[in-house]
Structure 1
Amino acid sequence: MATIEIYTKAFCGYCARAKALLDRKGAVYREIDVTMDRAGQEAMVARANGGRTVPQIFIDDRHVGGSDDLAALEAKGELDALLKAD
């Protein structure tokens, strides 16, 4: 299984949507809540090449983007291959 990390904030509908898609896929992910974590948020922005919105999703250290980007991968039939990568 791929290593998945998702940066989130409390009460974020887009975060909930992304996590629900990953849950439906049976994916195991590490959630990094940056709601009150300034250092964590700064690390997320640096890692996401300036991306400040949440969620920011990484699969095997590849920056996927946000919730809409994750859904687009699913719509194109490309998400399953990424999730199963070693």
Structure 2
Amino acid sequence: MAAKDIVEKAITDNKIVVFSKSYCPYCNKAKKLLDSLSAKYTAFELDQREDGSAIQQYLREKTGQNTVPNIFVKEQHVGGCDDLHAANSSGKLQKLLQ
């Protein structure tokens, strides 16, 4: 399956998707926040996948974001770790999760 198809299917099929790297402290901080909210999410650990770099390249084209985590909630691009925490602080995240 092509990287584009993997990403688009993941975004469509899951309420929350975190494209992550297992060693990334910002990815872990974002996942920890979602865990604290008891929000179920699907994580794609790009450093543990053979197609991880292709997926990250497609995400760069799709979102303009070069870094991980790259987070989607209900098919809406939230952004990275700081964006997720800002959305949580402002109440936007809770509205998206309803």
TM-score band, normalised by the shorter chain?
Answer: 0.7 to 0.9
What amino acid is the match of 1:61?
E
Within the candidate set 42, 46, 71, 1:57 is matched to: 71
1:21 aligns with 2:33: yes
- TM-score (structure 2 length as normaliser): 0.76
User: Structure 1 segments of 4 or more deviating over 4 A?
Assistant: none
Distance 1:17 1:76 in 2: 18
How many corresponding residue pairs?
Answer: 82
More helix by share: 2
**C-alpha displacement at 1:10, in angstroms?**
2.2
Q: Which runs of 5+ in 2 are unaligned?
A: 1-13
Cα RMSD for the two superposed structures: 1.4
- Structure 1, unpaired ranges of 5+: none
Find 2:95's aligned residue among 76, 81, 84.
Answer: 81
Percent identity between matched residues is: 39
Please give the alpha-carbon distance, in whole angstroms, between the structure 2 residues aligned to 1:71 and 1:65: 10
Q: Conserved in 1, the CA contact under 8 Å of 2:22 and 2:28?
A: no
CA distance in 2, matches of 1:45, 1:61: 16
Alpha-carbon distance in structure 1 between the residues aligned to 2:94 and 2:67: 24
| Higher relative contact order, structure no. (Cα contacts within 8 Å, ≥ 6 residues apart) | 1
- CA positional deviation for 1:39: 1.6
